[in-house]
C-alpha cells in the first residue's frame, strides 16, 4: 500500500515529489519538446499525432489536449515544464494560474496584489470536511 504524504491534504496542491516525477516523466518530456520551433509547429499541426511520440497515459494525453492545467500537475506534470506548453499557446504563468483558480487574469492579479488567497479553507481537506 502506498503511503499518503501529509501535503496531499492541502486543497488544490500537487507537490512535485519523487512519485509525481516518475509518473510524469513522459508528460514533462513532451512539454520540454515545446522549446523547439519545429516541435511546436508539428504539435500545432496535429496535436494528437504529436503526443503519440511520447508514451504517456491516455489520461495525460487528454489533459494536454484539453489544456487541463490542474490535471497535468495531478498526473505528474511540473509547472515549469507545463509552462512550455502554455507558452506555445501564448499564455503566461499568470494566465494559467488564473485558469487554475477559476478566475480571470485580471481578478487573479488583483487577488495576488491584495495578498493572495486567505488561509481559511485552504489549509487542509480533512479540516475543511470537519467544519462542513
pTM of the model: 0.80
pLDDT tens, residue by residue, 48-94: 999 999 999 999 999 999 999 999 999 999 999 999 999 999 999 89
From the list 85, 69, 95, 93, the residue with the least C-alpha distance to 12 is 69
**In this model, does residue 7 exceed pLDDT 90?**
no
Question: Model confidence over 108-129: pLDDT tens digits?
Answer: 889 889 888 776 666 665 655 5
Residues with Cβ < 8 Å from 35, sequence gap 6 or more?
A: 84
pLDDT of residue 124: 61
Give the start-to-end residue ranges of the domains of the chain.
14-131
Rounded CA separation 29/49 (Å): 16
Per the CB < 8 A criterion, the answer to whether 91 and 69 are in contact is no
Question: Would you state the pLDDT for residue 1?
Answer: 38
Q: For 14-131, which CATH superfamily applies?
A: Dioxygenase LigAB, LigA subunit (1.10.700.10)
Q: What is the per-residue pLDDT for 72?
A: 95
Amino acid at each position: 500500500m502506498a503511503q499518503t504524504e501529509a501535503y496531499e491534504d492541502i486543497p488544490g496542491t500537487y507537490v512535485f515529489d519523487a512519485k509525481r516525477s516518475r509518473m510524469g516523466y513522459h508528460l514533462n518530456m513532451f512539454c520540454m519538446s515545446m522549446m523547439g520551433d519545429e516541435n511546436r509547429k508539428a504539435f500545432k499541426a496535429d496535436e494528437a499525432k504529436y503526443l503519440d511520440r511520447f508514451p504517456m497515459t491516455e489520461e495525460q494525453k487528454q489533459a494536454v489536449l484539453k489544456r487541463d492545467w490542474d490535471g497535468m500537475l495531478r498526473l505528474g506534470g511540473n509547472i515549469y515544464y507545463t509552462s512550455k506548453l502554455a507558452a506555445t499557446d501564448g499564455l503566461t504563468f499568470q494566465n494559467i494560474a488564473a485558469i487554475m483558480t477559476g478566475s480571470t487574469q485580471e481578478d487573479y492579479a488583483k487577488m495576488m496584489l491584495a495578498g493572495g488567497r486567505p488561509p481559511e479553507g485552504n489549509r487542509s481537506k480533512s479540516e475543511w470536511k470537519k467544519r462542513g
